[in-house]
Chains A and B, each alone.
Chain A
Amino acid sequence: MASSTSSVPSSSSSTSLYNPSPTFSGTSTFSSSFQQVLTKAVQEASLPMQEMQNDVNSLTSQQSALTQIESSFQTLSSDVQSISSNASGTPASSVSDPTAISATTTSSALPGTYSIQVDTMGSYSTAMSAAGSPAITDPSSQNISSASSYTLAVDGTDTTITPVGSSLEDLASAINSSSAGVQATIVNVGPNNAMDYRLVITSTSLAADSIQLSAGSTPLLSTVSTGAPATYSVNGSSTVLQTNSPTVTLSPGVTVNLLATSTQPVTVTVTQDYSALQSALSQFATDYNSAVTAVDGQIGLNAGPLSGDSIVYTMSNVLQSMAQYASGSGSLSTLNDLGLSLSDTGTMSFDASTFSALNMSDLAQFFGSATTGGFIQAATNALSSVDDTNTGDLATEYNTLQTQITQQNQEISDEQARIGDMESNLESQLSQADAAIATLQSQKTYYADLFQAEFPSTSTT
């Protein structure tokens, strides 16, 4: 508790009526209330900041809601792109005899029916090292030659082989690492009690390739089998085709793998598959409903922080314009014709059976593309008007909110500084006033007492 004090020198040895100049110090009786007043004043002055902070929180909530809605719209845009890329279907193939061939297709494959008859599967040329003397029982330490460098001749092309070690395993590894186009393996041709490891080199093409490995001028291999190309005929042609690879290009985008010979032509059927489009449409319906839910959350009672913002209605209109798209021509004119229907509550659903029953050749006209019109262009334009990351309404609104938040935060910062300055200034003023009051009180008491002592018959104020 503050109190009024004074420090007045005690009487000196001097008999003079007046002592040397007294000094005064201490705090006034007002000090206790002073700090309370000051604290309250600063707290009250901070109320506008509370209001501004509330504004910032509100703006941040709006930003958060915008981000959430933007996400659902971007998902919808992605769905539209997926519909666009799958609108014409994707080529798919089937074969009549999967044991004879397998087929793969790419996007460039044309729908149609092909036939292929595999006459011979062909074979690979193989050569094997001669028996060692003694036989190699440990290929990790022994080798068929003590040479440090070898020459591998494949169909007349020489390749120098330099193993990193001296073992047979090192030699095989070096061959496989080379670009000679052969495969080296180590095979045991002896019984379990008398291992006899040999180096076997097999060509990688179906052809009568000659294979020889030499250490200096010494040949190390002998031919085990001479390869031959595979033969087949296509679409009933009498022309027999040869191939050095089991993989054959049947048509642009259509590749078959020869698995076995066939006594009858094997049929390869390439069709357009619309299952991906079906999935994309189904996903579109799901994500459309999510977007509607997100937007509806900002409308009506218990609406979110974007309640009343015009962008809510902009987004709602975009969704409606997509759902109610009408082409105006063609056998397919609305999303409902595709199996995408709206319930009376605005929920979109996808009927796969309706979609499956469509004449898929009509899809291209309905969907169009992002540049040539149709549903894809209409939906793309509508969605990009709101979710474009640079010019979309959502981005614009988001940036506007961000600007307001930045301004509000700056105002809060300025207000904090102002209140701080005010506090310091008032503290200083009142402290000085208290000190002056304490000094004057002490002086007055001291001199009043002195006056009374000297002039007892006279009163002071």
Chain B
Amino acid sequence: MIPPYLEQLEEQVRCAAASRQYEEIGRLAAAFAESVRAYTQTLPAGDARAGDAMRRLVDLLSWSLVMVQGGRAACSAELRRVRTANRYSRRDGPPARTAGINLDA
């Protein structure tokens, strides 16, 4: 068990990861870790709750990492979709001639 305020912070980290708020994840995770660190310092030495809190922290970081990697994979998939998309059907007509396009890609 961890205090409610830590659970609230954990929930915020999970929301940011689930909604792909990449810029928020790092900041919230750091805030959660700092809070866990401060919480464990208030506990007496050998208190099992310190270990539980640390485990929750590491578990949350692992879970967030998986979520962000999944989001990144989805983003890459979107690019691949663009690559394979053929939004304009080829028209009948004379053979294509070389075109000059400045794409600046």
| A interface residues (Cβ-Cβ under 8 A, vs B) | 16-18, 21-24, 30, 34, 37-58, 61, 305, 307, 412, 416, 419-420, 422-423, 426, 429-430, 432-437, 439-441, 443-444, 447-448, 450-451, 454-455, 458, 460-461
Contact of B65 among A37, A47, A307, A441 (CB under 8 A): A441
Within 8 Å by CB of A461, from B33, B62, B64, B71, lies: B62
Residue numbers in A under 8 Å from B104 (CB-CB): 420
> B37, B40, B105: which contacts A39 (Cβ < 8 A)?
B105
29 interchain pairs (CB within 8 A)?
A16-B41, A21-B30, A21-B33, A24-B30, A39-B105, A41-B79, A41-B82, A42-B105, A44-B82, A48-B86, A50-B99, A50-B101, A56-B99, A58-B93, A305-B94, A416-B101, A422-B82, A423-B105, A429-B20, A429-B75, A432-B22, A432-B23, A434-B72, A435-B22, A439-B26, A440-B26, A443-B26, A451-B51, A455-B51
From DSSP, what is the main secondary structure of chain A's interface residues?
Answer: helix
Alpha-carbon distance A47/B88, docked complex (angstroms): 9
Q: In the complex, how many angstroms separate the beta carbon of B76 from the nearest chain A beta carbon?
A: 5
Q: Which chain B positions have C-beta within 8 A of A57?
A: 97, 99
The 9 closest A-B pairs by CB, nearest first: A53-B99, A41-B79, A44-B83, A432-B22, A439-B26, A433-B72, A444-B61, A48-B88, A436-B22
Most chain B CB within 10 A, of A47, A61, A437, is at A437
Complex Cα distance A59/B41, Å? Answer: 76
Q: Are A436 and B23 in contact (CB under 8 A)?
A: yes
Further 14 A-B residue pairs, CB within 8 A, beyond A44-B85, A51-B88, A447-B54: A18-B40, A21-B34, A43-B105, A45-B85, A46-B103, A48-B88, A55-B91, A57-B99, A412-B101, A426-B78, A440-B29, A443-B29, A447-B33, A458-B55
A39 to B20, CA, bound (A): 23
Residues in A neighbouring B82, C-beta threshold 8 A: 41-42, 44-45, 422
58-101 of chain B: CB within 8 A of chain A: 58-59, 61-62, 64-65, 68-69, 71-72, 75-76, 78-80, 82-88, 90-91, 93-94, 96-97, 99-101
Count B-side interface residues using an 8 Å CB cutoff: 51
B15 CB → nearest A CB, Å = 14
Cβ of B25 within 8 Å of any chain A Cβ, yes or no, is yes
Is the beta-carbon distance between A451 and B58 smaller than 8 angstroms?
A: yes
> Per a CB cutoff under 8 Å, which of A45, A50, A420, A461 touches B83?
A45
- Which residues of B are found within 8 Å of A23, using beta-carbon distances? 30
- Cα distance, A435 to B24, chains bound together (Å): 11
User: A384 CA to B69 CA in the complex, in Å?
Assistant: 70
Q: Is B6 an interface residue (CB 8 A)?
A: no
**Cβ-defined partner of B75 (8 Å) among A426, A444, A450, A451:** A426
Residues of A within 8 A of B40 (CB): 17-18
Q: How far is the CA of A52 from the CA of B88 in the complex (A)?
A: 9
Contact call B94/A58, Cβ cutoff below 8 A: yes
Q: Which residue of B lies closest to A433 (CB)?
A: B72
In the complex, A55→B96 CA distance in Å? 8
Cα(A137)–Cα(B64), bound, Å: 120
Nearest CB of chain A from residue B78's CB, rounded to whole Å: 7
- Bitwise interface map of B from 1 to 40 toward A, beta carbon under 8 Å scored 1, else 0: 0000000000000000000101101100110011001001
CB closest residue in chain B, given A436: B22
Query: Assuming the A-B contacts A18-B37, A434-B72, are A447 and B103 also in contact, with contact meaning beta carbons closer than 8 angstroms in the complex?
Result: no
Bound-state Cα–Cα, A104 to B104, Å: 72
